[in-house]
Amino acid sequence: MSTDKTKLARGIKYEAGALPLILLAPFLINIGFKAIKRNDNYLFLIVGIIVAIIAVVLGVIGIRIILSALFDKNEESK
| pLDDT score recorded for residue 1 | 61
- The Cβ-side half-sphere exposure at 78, using a 13 Å CA radius, reads 4
Give the Cα separation of 25 and 20 in Å (integer).
9
Note the pTM of the prediction, 2 decimals: 0.84
| pLDDT score recorded for residue 78 | 47
Task: Check residue 72 and report its DSSP letter.
Answer: S
Q: Quote the domain boundaries for residue 63.
A: 5-77
Summarize pLDDT for 24-54 with one digit per residue, the tens: 999 999 999 999 999 989 999 999 999 999 9
Give the Cα separation of 17 and 9 in Å (integer).
12
| pLDDT score recorded for residue 72 | 80
Total domains present in the chain:
1
Give the Cα separation of 47 and 23 in Å (integer).
14
| pLDDT score recorded for residue 44 | 94
Mean pLDDT value across residues 12-20 = 96
